[in-house]
Amino acid sequence: MEHALPGAFVGLDVGGTYLKAALLDAQGALVEKRRYPIRKDSAASILAQFAEAVRDLAGAEPVRTVRAIGIGLPGIVDRAARVRVAPNVPVLNGLAVGEEVRARTGVAAFAENDANVAALAEAYRGAGRGADNVLVVTLGTGVGGGVVLKRRLWTGTGGYAGEIGHIQVDQAGVRCGCGSWGCLETLVGVPSWERRGRAALEAGRSSTLATLAKLEPKTVVAEAEKGDALALELVEESARALAVGIAAALQLLNVERVVVAGGVSNAGPILLDRVREHVQKRCFPQVFADASICVAELGSDAGVIGAGTLALLEAGPGA
Ligand SMILES: [Zn+2]
């Protein structure tokens, strides 16, 4: 099959469960997307799968139709697009994924951390559209981030910039997976809702949360909206922690748009309204006035769209 799309881009979003792939046209608009169960038993098999996904979308000879490939990877990716560590897909450790995909497809390929490419997607195609300087904060099990300055991803000296989830927001906080303590992630990440809620219940607080099997942002927010005092405290604590992190980033970067993405961001306005209030208290009035804080638009498509956008930015627009 020959896909009639000269100058197209392919985005690959590598996750612990699925490989997602998308075809973007020469201007970077989404044309088609697909999803495959990830084959992560060996480096050879996952790299072969990447090349197959490109051919599946772009035809047997991708070099004739695809201008560049972008890849979002679930781990720490260095400046040379080599994976330092990918906890959920360890076969990627040490691989220079961009080079490997180029060798298998004949097409220029670029790789980045998945939170960074998702940030690019929101900046170019989502809630950051029209803004030159955008901070994206992704709230999930972990808390990730990406910084887009003057329309380009800011990855820092070694490629590790944007880790807002590991800004310390509580000097007396609990240990974080990164080795530090009191990181934003320890007060906003999904597991923290269970940890903080259970601790309060075990300490004897009475709350409707005691009737829930699992304490997640969504369920806790629902109880907070019904007026449960403990649930409200948990929401307030997360909102304040998130605001401390965002305010620090705003004072440093003076961006015009903060996009909050990930599952927790859909918890409802109760969280973001509080975040805005607390950010305002912690920023210069001018810095706060320059920035709007909004919810992401692209959902789970941000990864593939961002990977394709990375390819477009690295290789330049297609024909
Ligand atoms: Zn940390």
Amino acid found at 177 = G
Contact between 305 and 125 (Cβ < 8 Å): yes
For the sheet with 143-149, list strands across it.
152-153, 143-149, 134-139, 257-261, 292-295
Structure tokens at 96: 């220079």
Give residue 218 CA to ligand 1 midpoint distance, Å.
Answer: 23
Contact between 250 and 287 (Cβ < 8 Å): yes
Q: Distance between CA atoms of 195 and 239, rounded to whole angstroms?
A: 16
- Tens digit of each residue's pLDDT (9 = 90 or more) over 252-270: 999 999 999 987 767 678 8
pLDDT at 157: 87
Of the candidates 72, 119, 124, 140, the residue with the CA atom closest to the CA atom of residue 253? 119
Give residue 272 CA to ligand 1 midpoint distance, Å.
Answer: 22
Flag whether pLDDT at 80 surpasses 80.
Answer: no
Give residue 182 CA to ligand 1 midpoint distance, Å.
Answer: 7
Give residue 244 CA to ligand 1 midpoint distance, Å.
Answer: 15
Three-state secondary-structure class, residue 295: strand
Phi, psi angles (nearest 5°) of residue 128: -95, 0
- Tens digit of each residue's pLDDT (9 = 90 or more) over 37-54: 999 999 999 999 999 999
Give residue 186 CA to ligand 1 midpoint distance, Å.
Answer: 7
Rg from Cα positions in the chain:
20
pLDDT at 318: 65
Give residue 76 CA to ligand 1 midpoint distance, Å.
Answer: 14
pLDDT at 2: 45
Give residue 252 CA to ligand 1 midpoint distance, Å.
Answer: 19
pTM confidence score: 0.90
Give residue 88 CA to ligand 1 midpoint distance, Å.
Answer: 17
Of the candidates 76, 100, 95, the residue with the CA atom closest to the CA atom of residue 87? 76
Q: What is the mean pLDDT of residues 228-251?
A: 97
Give residue 190 CA to ligand 1 midpoint distance, Å.
Answer: 14
Give residue 22 CA to ligand 1 midpoint distance, Å.
Answer: 32
pLDDT at 79: 73
Give residue 143 CA to ligand 1 midpoint distance, Å.
Answer: 9
Q: Distance between CA atoms of 157 and 167, rounded to whole angstroms?
A: 18
Listed ranges 85-89, 103-107, 270-274; the one with the highest mean pLDDT:
103-107
Q: Distance between CA atoms of 271 and 214, rounded to whole angstroms?
A: 19
Q: Distance between CA atoms of 33 and 12, rounded to whole angstroms?
A: 10
